Amino acid sequence: VPDATVTWARSGQNVSSLSGHEISDDTTWLHIVNFNISTAGLHTYKCTAVNPLGSQSRDTKLSGITPTT
């Protein structure tokens, strides 16, 4: 199986151009730095993998519960 090129997007925008996001060297994981559900807003993230055999994408929407104080 040929290796895939993986890209990450948040609400349609490539995360490599956004602050607060780190992508691994092999692009297989995304780390959202200092994520705070109460201030971040709920964005849809998309992971897309492409190789000579085709492509696959998956969307996920972050959600959570803001802790009470």
pLDDT at 49: 95
More confident residue, 49 or 11: 49
State pLDDT tens for residues 13-61: 998 888 888 888 888 888 888 776 665 567 789 999 999 999 999 998 8
36-42 contacts, C-beta under 8 A, 24 or more apart: 37/62, 37/63, 37/64, 37/65, 37/66, 38/66
pLDDT at 50: 96
